[in-house]
Amino acid sequence: MRKFAVLILLALLVMACNLTQAVQPNRNDASNTQVVQSSSVLEQEQVESTQIDPTDTPASQSTTLTPPAAESSPTPTQELMQVGQPGSDGLGDPYYPQLGNGGYDALHYTIDLVVDVESNTITGTATISIQAVQNLSTFNLDFSGFEISQVLIDDVAANYKRQGDELTIIPPESLWNGETFTATIAYSGEPEPIRSKALPIRMGWTHFDAGIYVASEPDGAASWYPVNDHPLDKATYTLRVTVPEPYVVAANGLLEDKIKNEDNTTYVWESINPMASYLVTVDIAEFIIQTEEGPNGLPIRNFFPPELADDAAFDFGRTLEMIDFFSEVFGPYPFEAYGAVIADFPAALETQTLSLFGYQHVSGTRESENVVAHELAHQWFGDSVSLAKWRDIWLNEGFATYAEWLWLEHIEGADALANNVDRIYGFVSERGMRPPGNPPASNLFNGSVYIRGALTLHALRLTVGDEAFFEILRTYPQRYHYGNATTADFIAVAEEVSGQDLDELFQSWLYEEAVPELPPSE
């Protein structure tokens, strides 16, 4: 019986291939509607944010390769159309519905880049191992700019089209639900950072005086490789980056190989744990590399600009002590390596296994040690446990901010924490700072998700007591490690561990305008 069914399906597939190649992907297809639902308020915000976001690739420049028309196509019947449907062009994030794509699961990216650092041009090939999670006639990747020279599916040339930041690949044959295949995209050009929908700066591949850095949160990854750009689809990565002398390439994971070619060098970086696309980084400059061994032989590698190396060595000098401390509090450090890379970046970002810091965080006086602690703590909260939807950003930023406070408590004692909480609570309540659970989609990283988010955790600590609180802080990253979680998932862990009903506490701290009173401390 099974064999017979397969034969019928194969016959249908052959017929449908002719059909689906001639049919434009239908973005309003019924199979897509479930993932683009969102409340009217959020849709309103989305519309506003897309209006100020110019399309990176004007329609006139988009490449359209028309597949050969099917000869005398039969009328598509409902039955035939079920053989392969277009994957949706968004993953349905309530804030940014176009980020990511549906219908498949990206498993592994091999990104091979030859970089001319001076002119900031890339010749690249992305080879993506993908598993279909529905029968697919076409599927999308997020990708901005560049000339595409070739697209292959399992080494066979495939057609594609581009519209804005959506790359639609039309495989030579429909792909079956559960089938694993390889998409190869060859491209070249000058990467342009993407105007983010979530904050008023451009994100992604960025060229600066001394080299290049990549910081993509939340939507910059498509500025340098074709990607399923949403934390819901994490994958492992191989980054092969070729640069001329004297540049050095820092990237996520472990340096597996360094190949000296005639007039350039290829660095091969391997990430063995799943990673959200916004956490992938490639940083190129004339770095000085400092290495150390962390707890349990954890490799630490820091990439510092030569002129800042001495000051940075002091500023980042307590990283090992921090890893020890956070491992005790949150559970074992989740990845294969850690370190810092410093570039001309106006912020700091917890790029997985290799946090990125701007020059301004180097002082030689540990002035920014709270930021060092913050990005390290994100390796547990944000990187290992990732968001399922961007609206829950407080789960990243509130936790990393509270980790700063825990580090302060660790090195300076309980009074230092109490004074810090008093000062910040005063600031938040005086300003009437908006609730962190519903940040504006166009200003995702507003102060509330950090400090009212951290105060939410402190209120939890005062409510359930230290023993339950720290058990919650260990249980949550353990339960969702290498995966995704929502605010509801965290609240469920907190209620389970403490045995208390915490709905009111979280409701008032996360979602109500009025800043609640802090529970009394013991």
* Min CB(218)–Zn ion separation in Å: 12
Cβ distance to Zn ion smaller for residue 198 or 400: 400
Stretch that binds Zn ion, among 137-145, 280-288, 290-298, 398-406 (CB under 5 A): 398-406
* Min CB(400)–Zn ion separation in Å: 4
CB within 8 Å of 308: residues ≥ 6 apart: 342, 359, 362
Residue least distant from Zn ion (Cβ): 400
CB within 8 Å of 23: residues ≥ 6 apart: 76, 137
Stretch that binds Zn ion, among 123-131, 140-148, 288-296, 399-407 (CB under 5 A): 399-407
Q: Is 271 helix (H, G, I), strand (E, B) or coil?
A: strand
Cβ distance to Zn ion smaller for residue 249 or 428: 428
Cβ distance to Zn ion smaller for residue 139 or 345: 345
User: Tokens at residue 204, please?
Assistant: 């992604």
* Min CB(36)–Zn ion separation in Å: 29
Any idea what DSSP says for residue 511?
I
CA atoms of 508 and 519, how far apart (whole Å): 12
Q: Facing residues of 341 across strands?
A: 303, 356
User: Tokens at residue 353, please?
Assistant: 């296994």
> Which among 452, 501, 488, 495 has a CA at the least distance from the CA of 471?
495
User: Tokens at residue 287, please?
Assistant: 């770095």
Cβ distance to Zn ion smaller for residue 20 or 379: 379
* Min CB(378)–Zn ion separation in Å: 5
* Min CB(208)–Zn ion separation in Å: 21
166 near 89, Cβ under 8 Å?
yes
* Min CB(210)–Zn ion separation in Å: 24
CA atoms of 164 and 57, how far apart (whole Å): 5
Number of residues that bind Zn ion (CB under 5 A): 2
Kindly write down the DSSP assignment for every residue of 321-355, as one continuous string.
HHHHHHHHHH-S--SS-B-EEEES-SSEE--TTSE
Residue 483 zone, left/alpha/beta (φ > 0; ψ -120 to 50; rest): beta
Stretch that binds Zn ion, among 108-116, 237-245, 358-366, 395-403 (CB under 5 A): 395-403
Binding mask 3-42 for Zn ion (x = CB under 5 A): ----------------------------------------
**The binder of Zn ion chosen from 136, 400, 451, 455 (CB under 5 A):** 400
Cβ distance to Zn ion smaller for residue 383 or 397: 397
Cβ distance to Zn ion smaller for residue 357 or 425: 357
* Min CB(377)–Zn ion separation in Å: 8
Which positions touch Zn ion (CB under 5 A)?
397, 400
